[in-house]
Amino acid sequence: MTKLELSALQYVSQGLTYAEIGQRTGYSQVSVQKAVIRVLRKLNARNRAHAVFLACQAGILNPKHRHGDHAGFIAHQRRGEDPWECRLGCPEGERAYRRERRAARRKADEAWRGAVANLTEAS
């Protein structure tokens, strides 16, 4: 695997777009896209996520490192932090994110129950 292909695979594992990878590597978006396509062919992968999975299995990428999005990712972004600096899976970020999502689901459920109750009362 070439240096560009390996770099592209690592950045793909972090969820970056072709344009973002191009900016970080100094290559054009088209060159990065072609490199990723070559990686997909070499790994016999169906898509980018499958390529990351196969690369972890083959030992090309560190399988102990969490690649791509994790539950705390959005929480980091909302706090204005760089989510890529979180190397251990960020348990506190994940807990905060899940708490936030549970609260949002409860609120939506309550709103739904209230709407249903209003409809039944109006009938």
* CB of 43 closer than 8 Å to CB of 51: yes
Quick one: tokens of 119?
């409809």
SS3 89: coil
Q: Answer yes or no: is pLDDT of 36 > 60.
A: yes
Residue of higher predicted confidence among 29 and 122: 29
> What is the distance between the alpha carbons of residues 116 and 54, in angstroms, rounded to a whole number?
48
What's the chain's length in residues?
A: 123
Q: In 3D, which of 26, 29, 35 has the Cα closest to residue 4? A: 35
Residues 6+ apart with CB under 8 A from 84: 14
Q: Per the confidence metrics, is the pTM higher than 0.75?
A: no
- Per-residue confidence (pLDDT) for residue 47, from 0 to 100: 92
For residue range 75-109, what is the model confidence (pLDDT) as tens digits? 666 677 766 666 555 666 667 767 887 898 899 88
